[in-house]
Amino acid sequence: MTSQYKIAIRGAGVAGLWQALTLARRGHRVILAERSEDPFADACSPYAGAMLAPRCEEESAEPIIRELGLRGIEIWKAVYPDLSAAGSLVVAPARDRKLLDRFERMTQGGARLGADQLEELEPSLVPRFGTALFYADEAHLNPGAALSFLLNEVRNAGVVVQLGVGDIPAGADFVIDCRGLAAQDMLPTLRGVRGERIVVRAPEIAIERPVRLLHPRFPLYLVPWGEDDTGANQFMIGATSIEREDDGPVTLRSALELLSAAYVLDPAFGEAEILSLGASVRPAFPDNRPRIIESSGYIYVNGLYRHGFLLAPVMAEQVAHYLETGVTHPEVFVADFGQR
């Protein structure tokens, strides 16, 4: 590295934490400023499903998400010891098999499993699903545990963490803005996409990897979040992407749809205990692609949409590479600030 900089980072969600950790480990002096007095209180990151699924995202996202996402998984593997890299599954009821066929055509890297192969991975799914798509190079994690780990690593790396600070720290060579929707005053095309999720405790269910249920009305993804303090398995149930910017409570309609779809996936969810219902608003640009926007030493990292955990580490790597070499990724960096 040719130069060491003093860098101020605004926002301590998953994007800001990865920026701080990556730059501090490369020898830069880093301050991480967060407006909330409690870590993650104002962040949307704790509400993420935290599926690292660049292959599955190809069904609706552009190829750049796969490219960046595969690199993101590599970085998570190198840093986070509790990452679960067991792959992910996509299933559909027999009457909706065409949805599974379409998903297979729209994505790469998925293996079509028969009932015997599916039983080896997730036996409880076989009575209802005779086939599935398996994406072996995908991963997942528990977002709460991962955020706590990253914050601890950031502090261990020598980052000065300032909570309850909304202003820009003075004296920095560069400021990196990872505030999400709070940056709308300077990024007018940024919009919010509401996501809702339910966390349940289900001792009788032993699904070990994320499962996407394709359904014409109630699509769903299920993410195992490991055992709670009682030893029971926890799962995140999610799917909604609503073009709305309020982060109020989960609606009755969304809750009914999510829980109904979980019951279709496995009727044993009928006996699960609901631990929490929550909603957050994720920042996205009109094309749902992430952007790094630099203007006179002020760098926005934003628009991660529903790919925050997947893309945060590689966006940090991109920023570090730019600061050290001046080289930019043509599909991530926006050279003209007016294009924001």
Residue-level pLDDT at 217: 81
Contact assessment for residue 82 and residue 142, using Cβ atoms and an 8 Å cutoff: yes
DSSP H helices, the chain, are 14-25, 63-79, 97-106, 115-121, 143-156, 252-265, 308-325
Contact assessment for residue 108 and residue 55, using Cβ atoms and an 8 Å cutoff: yes
Q: Nearest Cα to 32, choosing from 15, 14, 13, 9?
A: 9
CATH number of 6-48+142-190+286-339: 3.50.50.60
For the segment 164-183, what is each residue's pLDDT rounded down to a tens digit? Answer: 998 888 899 999 999 999 99
Query: In this structure, how many other beta carbons lie within 10 angstroms of the beta carbon of residue 211?
Result: 22
Mind listing the pLDDT tens digit of every residue in the chain (340 residues)?
457 999 999 999 999 999 999 999 999 999 999 999 999 998 999 999 899 999 999 999 999 999 999 999 999 999 999 999 999 999 999 999 999 999 999 999 999 999 999 999 999 999 899 999 999 999 999 999 999 999 999 999 999 999 999 888 889 999 999 999 999 999 999 999 999 999 999 999 999 999 999 988 878 999 999 988 888 899 999 967 788 888 888 889 889 989 999 999 999 999 999 999 999 999 999 999 999 999 999 999 999 999 999 999 999 999 999 999 999 999 999 865 554 4
Helices 63-79/308-325 angle, 10° precision = 90
For the segment 231-242, what is each residue's pLDDT rounded down to a tens digit? Answer: 889 999 996 778
Burial of 164 (0-12, 13-18, 19+ CB in 10 A): exposed
Domains in the chain: boundaries: 6-48+142-190+286-339, 88-136+192-284
Distances (CA, A) of 217 to 34, 89, 214, 239: 39, 19, 9, 11
Residue-level pLDDT at 176: 98
Considering the segment(s) 88-136+192-284 as one domain, its CATH architecture is 2-Layer Sandwich (3.30)
Residue-level pLDDT at 287: 93
Q: H or E segment at 30?
A: strand 29-34
Query: Global pTM?
Result: 0.95
CA dihedral 23, 26, 27, 28 (to 10 degrees): -20
For the segment 123-135, what is each residue's pLDDT rounded down to a tens digit? Answer: 999 989 999 999 9
Q: Which two tokens stand for residue 301?
A: 């990292």
Q: Nearest Cα to 214, choosing from 83, 65, 101?
A: 101
Residues 89, 266: Cα–Cα separation, whole Å: 14
Contact assessment for residue 302 and residue 45, using Cβ atoms and an 8 Å cutoff: no
Q: Which two tokens stand for residue 53?
A: 């699924």
Residues 15, 197: Cα–Cα separation, whole Å: 20
Residue-level pLDDT at 1: 44
Termini Cα distance of the chain: 30
44: left (phi over 0), alpha (psi -120 to 50) or beta: alpha
